[in-house]
Amino acid sequence: MEETDKKPKKAGARLCCICNQTRAALKRPKTFDQICKECFYKAFEEEIHRVIVNNQLFKPGERIAIGASGGKDSTVLAYILSELNRRHNYGLDLFLLSVDEGITGYRDDSLETVKRNELQYGLPLKIVSYKDLYGWTMDEIVKMIGLKNNCTFCGVFRRQALDRGAALLKVDKLATGHNADDIAETVLLNILRGDIARLSRCCSITTGEDGPIPRCKPFKYTYEKEIVMYAYFKGLDYFSTECIYSPNAYRGFAREFIKDLERIRPRAILDIIKSGEDFRIATTTKMPEQGTCERCGYISSQKWCKACVLLEGLNRGLPKLGIGRIRGVNNGRKKDINQISGAKSIESKQCGALDF
């Protein structure tokens, strides 16, 4: 028996259905194609290029920030975008933009990964911190409010922090690493919460085009499995630890449900996205009106934006301001609070790591 260094399994020794020459290395969830590494790289990169071109995500000469957490999705996104930018002459100026939430043992480690990516891909990196922007680190916030609702603070603050960082970099657009699995999960969550405004928004490949910094999701149709396989086969350097403060309860159930569906029928992920895209909202549904925050000028459908309400609560020692229903706060203050937030605040959103 001959021994090669990469002993193929008998059952796995099938040849790639594209080139018919090399041993297949994975089964693509989208197509069930059995494909070798080299053909997979080509197909994967080409599909993302097609998504970028067909949806006109970027224009020549634009400055683009890549939201970089050091995790798998944003690391692969940074790698692919710099590659495609070179290969297809997009003419883009690419930057890495990271948010330092101030979480010891989690974000400090993942930021080290982003700093390595800065060198590996030759992309300038900008880090904005909660401490600088808001005067509080997540560690300090958790010390004050405990482990309940902390993800609400983090999610609201991150969304603004990315916008502010993008403004500092003077970029035209922000690209994020949200993948097809993330989007399918968010469609389900928005249905479960009855959040019609977010449901209609979360499937758009580009959002916020009327605002100062539009966001786009080049991985909208890309399976998480393929992103991880790509990172693994290419030996990309990414960080993978769950946030130490994330309870992840509600989103966790949705995620597990999606993954169970995927095992039975991988196509389900793209079909959920399709359902989200084709959803039509009754004309009688009242949608929140978009305005600006009276305090900081950020987009807001209320008098004050969510970040300002949360920050006011922290600074006044009333961290429950702006969290869910107004419970456990006495009547005298209740009036005060309603004035501040302008209206009933939305139910707190578990782990906001994926903001749409």
Partner 1 sequence: MQLTLEFGGGLELLCESVKIHNVNVEPQNGADKLIMKDLLAWVRTNLIKERPEMFMKGDSVRPGVLVIVNDCDWELSGQLDTPLEEKDVVVFISTLHGG
Question: Assign residue 317 a region: left if phi > 0, alpha if psi is -120 to 50, beta otherwise?
Answer: left
Nearest to 340 by CA among 318, 317, 322: 322
Nearer of residues 233 and 279 to partner 1, judged by Cβ: 233
Q: Answer for the pair 128, 99: CB distance below 8 angstroms, yes or no.
A: yes
Q: How many Å separate Cα 83 from the centre of its chain?
A: 21
* Contact between 222 and partner 1 per CB under 8 A: no
Binding mask 136-165 for partner 1 (x = CB under 8 A): ------------------------------
Q: Answer for the pair 250, 201: CB distance below 8 angstroms, yes or no.
A: no
Query: How many amino acids of this chain bind partner 1 (CB under 8 A)?
Result: 43
Q: What's the start-to-end Cα distance of the chain, in Å?
A: 55
* Contact between 185 and partner 1 per CB under 8 A: no
Using DSSP's 3-state secondary structure scheme, residue 175 falls into strand
The first and second tokens of residue 228, run together, are 């991880």
- Shortest separation between residue 30's beta carbon and partner 1, angstroms: 13
Residue whose entry in the numeric block shows the structure tokens 């000028």: 297
Q: Which of residues 251-280 bind partner 1 (CB under 8 A)?
A: 255-256, 259-260, 262-263
* Contact between 100 and partner 1 per CB under 8 A: no
Q: Is 278 annotated as a binding residue?
A: no
Give the length of the chain: 356
Nearer of residues 8 and 135 to partner 1, judged by Cβ: 8
- Shortest separation between residue 240's beta carbon and partner 1, angstroms: 5
* Contact between 180 and partner 1 per CB under 8 A: no
Nearer of residues 34 and 98 to partner 1, judged by Cβ: 34
- Shortest separation between residue 241's beta carbon and partner 1, angstroms: 6
* Contact between 225 and partner 1 per CB under 8 A: yes
Span near partner 1 by CB under 8 A; candidates 3-11, 280-288, 289-297, 339-347? 3-11
Q: What is the enclosing helix (H) or strand (E) of 34?
A: strand 34-35
Query: What CA dihedral angle connects 115, 119, 122 and 126, to 10 degrees?
Result: 20
Angle at the Cα of 212 from the Cα atoms of 211 and 214, rounded to 5 degrees: 70
Nearer of residues 70 and 313 to partner 1, judged by Cβ: 70
* Contact between 74 and partner 1 per CB under 8 A: yes
Q: How many Å separate Cα 35 from the centre of its chain?
A: 28
Q: Is 352 annotated as a binding residue?
A: no
Of positions 100, 139, 172, 182, contacts partner 1 by CB under 8 A: 182
Q: How far apart are CA 193 and CA 202, in angstroms?
A: 13
- Shortest separation between residue 73's beta carbon and partner 1, angstroms: 3
Beta bridge partners of 281: none
- Shortest separation between residue 150's beta carbon and partner 1, angstroms: 15
Q: Is 182 annotated as a binding residue?
A: yes
- DSSP-derived letter for residue 23 is B
Query: Which residues carry a binding-site annotation for ATP?
Result: 67-69, 73, 99, 177, 182
Residues that bind partner 1 (CB under 8 A): 6-12, 14, 23-27, 34, 69, 71-74, 177-179, 181-182, 224-225, 227-229, 232-233, 240-243, 255-256, 259-260, 262-263, 353-354
